[in-house]
């Protein structure tokens, strides 16, 4: 059985004082919840402080991006060794906002994913279609391209996590139905099976992202190929994030 993972992408939010308050609320809210892994992904400049804030708790630390080089003249970038030094175990790569606003594409992301896993981080690699692409019945084609551009047999599957995030559902309040999400998750797993073989594909966790909230988390997580969530806005509210984590823990307990 795959252990569910709930990751919170803080994006460009929270001052240091607000971040400490948020982590305190999360720690309090998840007491007694088991069977689920939790990752918070704050902005870069909060990483060291948040590593201290989650010390002696089950919460893990992730970053929102990484460069593919270990060091060099790359102003404004952060390397995998730097993230490891800050206490990170995970990194989000290929988020739709990085693709849209910073023109990140397949060849670049292929280098980033390889650098992350080679450097000992778990890569949360994001894929997903826009509303225009979904309405044109191109969802599978877009997801297939995102995965085939980056995920090759030489990428260690044990450090790979896929996050399916339909772009039309990110921050819009719209959410894919459980059936819609499951259909794409199953397609992603089939693609992973064609690359790694079925047993390995069955071990890779595939998260859903896109307006995940306490009210819809349980129905999404009940789907057979949805192994957790990459949460945006709701992760900034301790009670909401804890409720999503609790839903994952409850699902894990029922499924075990």
User: What pLDDT, on the 0 to 100 scale, is given for residue 251?
Assistant: 60
Strands 122-127 and 160-164: parallel
Strand pairing partners for 162? 125, 206
What is the token pair recorded at 197? 């073989």
Domain 5-255: which CATH number of 3.90.1150.10, 3.20.20.70, 3.30.70.360, 3.40.50.300: 3.20.20.70
- What are the tens digits of pLDDT across the range 236-252? 999 999 999 999 987 65
Per-residue pLDDT tens over the stretch 153-203:
999 999 999 999 998 877 777 778 999 999 999 999 999 999 999 999 999
Active site positions, annotated: 95, 165
Sequence spans of domains, the chain: 5-255
- pTM beyond 0.85: the answer is yes
What 3-state class would DSSP assign to 164?
A: strand
- What b/e readout covers 153-187, taking b as 16+ CB neighbours within 10 angstroms? eebebebbbbbbbbbbbbeeeebbebeebbbbbeb
Angle at 134 between CA 220 and CA 146, to 5 degrees: 80
pLDDT at 1: 82
What residues contact 197, with CB distance under 8 A and at least 6 apart?
none
SS3 letters across 4-45: CEEEEECCCCCCHHHHHHHHHHHHHHCCCCCCCEEEEECCHH
């Amino acid at each position: 059985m795959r252990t569910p993972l709930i990751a919170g992408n803080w994006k460009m939010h929270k001052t240091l004082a607000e971040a400490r308050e948020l982590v305190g609320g999360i720690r309090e809210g998840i007491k007694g919840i088991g069977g689920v892994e939790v990752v918070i992904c704050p902005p870069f400049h909060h990483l060291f402080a948040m590593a201290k804030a989650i010390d002696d708790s089950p919460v893990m630390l992730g970053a929102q991006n990484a460069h593919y080089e270990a060091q060099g003249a790359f102003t404004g970038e952060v390397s995998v060794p730097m993230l490891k030094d800050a206490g990170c175990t995970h990194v989000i790569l290929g988020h739709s906002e990085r693709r849209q606003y910073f023109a990140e594409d397949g060849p670049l992301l292929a280098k980033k994913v390889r650098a992350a896993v080679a450097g000992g981080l778990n890569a949360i690699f994001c894929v997903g279609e826009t509303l225009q692409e979904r309405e044109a019945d191109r969802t599978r084609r877009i997801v297939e391209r995102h995965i085939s551009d980056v995920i090759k047999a030489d990428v260690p599957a044990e450090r790979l996590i896929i996050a399916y995030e339909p772009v039309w559902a990110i921050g819009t309040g719209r959410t894919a139905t459980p059936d819609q999400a499951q259909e794409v998750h199953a397609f992603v797993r089939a693609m992973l099976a064609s690359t790694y073989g079925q047993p390995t594909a069955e071990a890779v966790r595939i998260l859903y992202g896109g307006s995940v909230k306490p009210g819809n988390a349980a129905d999404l997580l009940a789907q057979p190929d949805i192994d957790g969530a990459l949460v945006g806005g709701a992760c900034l509210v301790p009670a909401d994030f804890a409720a999503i984590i609790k839903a994952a823990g409850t699902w894990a307990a029922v499924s075990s």
